[in-house]
Amino acid sequence: MTQKLAVFNMKGGVAKSTTAYNLAVGLVKFKKQRVLVIDIDPQGNASAALGIPIWQLEFQLKDVLQHKVPLAQVLVTTASGVDVIPSNILLAEEEIPISGRPGRELLLKKAIAPILDKYNFVLIDCPPNVGVFAINALMASDGVIIPVDMSYLGLLGVQGIEHALTLVRDQLDHPIAIAGVLATRYDRRNNLSKEVLDALTEHFGSKMFKTVIPETVKIREAPSHGQSIFEYDPNGVGASSYRELVNEVYRWQ
Ligand SMILES: Nc1ncnc2c1ncn2[C@@H]1O[C@H](COP(=O)(O)OP(=O)(O)OP(=O)(O)O)[C@@H](O)[C@H]1O
Ligand SMILES: [Mg+2]
């Protein structure tokens, strides 16, 4: 069965895109999985980090949502073997028109249905809000990966995330699960990191991934080379932590 996971948090800069693209590459590289990344964020960060030239896209997710082109024409297969439905800022122009369409929450789910069988994993990189794109991502997913950065505001945002998931479950009748909460950007020299991690663990218990992603310069630099952390710094702590996450997500199936 295809596992469909949204990488979701309304807060910006918590490592949603970083997690989506490294996880995708890792699942292909270490687990030989067939992986599709859907970039439903007009920033196009996951697409760009995977090495896709986002300012030269002939077709993109926007065209899929408008049913303008067949999916096969939009899919890009990257050097790392990940398939991507990319996006750039033009996706933002769709937000208002889509918001007025009937069945607007299910546009993505319906659009990707014909190709799901090809993949073991579909990872959807969400924008930092709870707008129509994020809701489409949640409705197209079985579970969410929730990266939380080790900050006070990151911790404070958890209630809002839970509220959004409750809304999807109760108002839209979609039983989405928490696949795992991921502590990101952990700085062991900083007491706040430990305090936030402790508070998250107390709140989420077994829903926390055991993996903790450290703050490292290499993770930050890797996208500028169009590489995952596994190619850019294969022996560093960033690669080993994301590899642990690959193992955990693989087991979640
Ligand atoms: N573990 C880390 N160590 C150092 N830098 C990191 C780490 N994780 C992410 N970053 C950097 O932090 C910034 C934000 O990360 P990223 O873009 O993945 O977050 P995001 O949640 O997708 O943001 P947005 O909400 O804007 O989509 C990026 O510059 C990224 O390279
Ligand atoms: Mg992002």
List, for residues 178-214, the tens digit of each pLDDT value. 999 999 999 999 999 999 999 999 999 999 999 999 9
What lines the ligand 1 site, CB under 6 Å? 12-18, 41, 43, 45, 128, 184-185, 213, 215-216, 219-220, 223
Residue among 31, 37, 28 nearest 145 (CA): 37
Both tokens assigned to 105:
């929450």
Give residue 197's pLDDT.
97
CB 85 within 8 A of CB 57: no
Ligand 1 pocket mutation pick from 8, 9, 11, 17 by most atoms within 8 angstroms of CB: 17
CB 218 within 8 A of CB 238: yes
Q: The CATH number of the domain where 32 resides is what?
A: 3.40.50.300
Q: How many angstroms does the Cα of residue 73 sit away from the middle of ligand 2?
A: 24
Instruction: Provide the number of structural domains found in the chain.
Output: 1
Closest Cα to atom 14 of ligand 1: 13
Give residue 253's pLDDT.
66
Q: Pick the ligand that lies closest to the CA of residue 145.
A: 1
Task: Spell out, as residue ranges, where the chain has pLDDT lower than 70.
Answer: 253
Q: Round to the nearest angstrom and report the end-to-end CA distance of the chain.
A: 8
Give residue 56's pLDDT.
96
**Cα separation, 172 vs 157, whole angstroms:** 22
Give residue 29's pLDDT.
98
Closest Cα to atom 3 of ligand 1: 215
**Cα separation, 222 vs 14, whole angstroms:** 16
Ligand 1 atom closest to residue 45's alpha carbon, by position in its atom list: 17
Helices 237-252/16-31 angle, 10° precision: 80
Q: Which domain holds residue 132?
A: 3-252
